Amino acid sequence: MNRRRTALSTATALAAALALAGCSSGGDAPELSVSGAFMPQPVMDDMAAGFLTVKNDGDTADKLTSVTSDIAGEVQIHETKDQKMRQVASFDVPANGSLDLERGGNHMMFLKLKKKPRQGDTVTVELHFEKAGSVKAELPVKEPTHNPDKQ
């Protein structure tokens, strides 16, 4: 019984903490929102890329430190520089700014896909931030050439 109460109160505390982190506006927490998310239908059976924008309306910068998804054994975050992509430990989400993952640039790379996403599917990811915690995002799977900046 004791154990149960502890678990419950932990959960309640967690809920409170999360609610706080999510809602405090104008304080010193990052205020993150995700938009423009998509995954181009991949060519390979085991590898895909994902793109989105994280907007930060808060006065505090944050960092995207990792991404997880139930469709992939691993999701890496990559920067593209001089036609090379390289895994990075984190991406900055500047205060009152945004982190843009876009085609030809920084992106999420999904590895060890459990199932090949097809156009029309939706892929769910969890973005893990240093300060804001985890934020879920849904990536609609688009045609292989989808590139919102070009449309």
Partner 1 sequence: MRKKHALAVAALAATAALTLSSCGGDKADSGTTPVTDVSTAPADKAATVLDRPFEKPDLVLTDTRGKKYDLRERTKGKPTLIYFGYTNCPDVCPLTMSNIAIAYKKLPQADRDKLQVVFVTTDPERDTPKALGTWLKGAGDPAFTGLTGDFPTIQAGARQIGIGIDPPKKEKDGTVVSMHGAQVVAFSPKTDAGYVLYSEDTTADDYTKDLPALIEGDNP
Among 27, 28, 35, 88, binds partner 1 (CB under 8 A): 35
8 Å CB contact between 112 and 72: yes
User: Does residue number 131 form part of the binding site for partner 1 (CB under 8 A)?
Assistant: no
Site string for partner 1, 37-76 (x = CB under 8 A): xx-x-xxx--xxx--xx-x---------------------
Among 65, 95, 130, 135, binds partner 1 (CB under 8 A): 135
Closest distance to partner 1 from the beta carbon of 139 (Å): 7
Segment interacting with partner 1, rule: CB under 8 A, options 63-71, 89-97, 106-114: 106-114
Determine the straight-line distance between the first and last CA of the chain, rounded to whole angstroms. Answer: 59
List 68's β-bridge partners, or say none: 126
What token pair was written down for 137? 């995002």
CA–CA gap between residue 52 and residue 33 (Å, rounded): 10
Q: What is the β-pairing status of strands 133-142 and 32-40?
A: parallel
8 Å CB contact between 41 and 119: yes
8 Å CB contact between 80 and 56: no
Nearer to partner 1, 100 or 130 (CB): 100
> Which residues contact partner 1 by CB under 8 A?
4, 7-8, 10-12, 14-19, 21-23, 32-38, 40, 42-44, 47-49, 52-53, 55, 80, 82-87, 98, 100, 102-104, 107, 109-110, 133, 135-140, 142, 144-145, 147-150
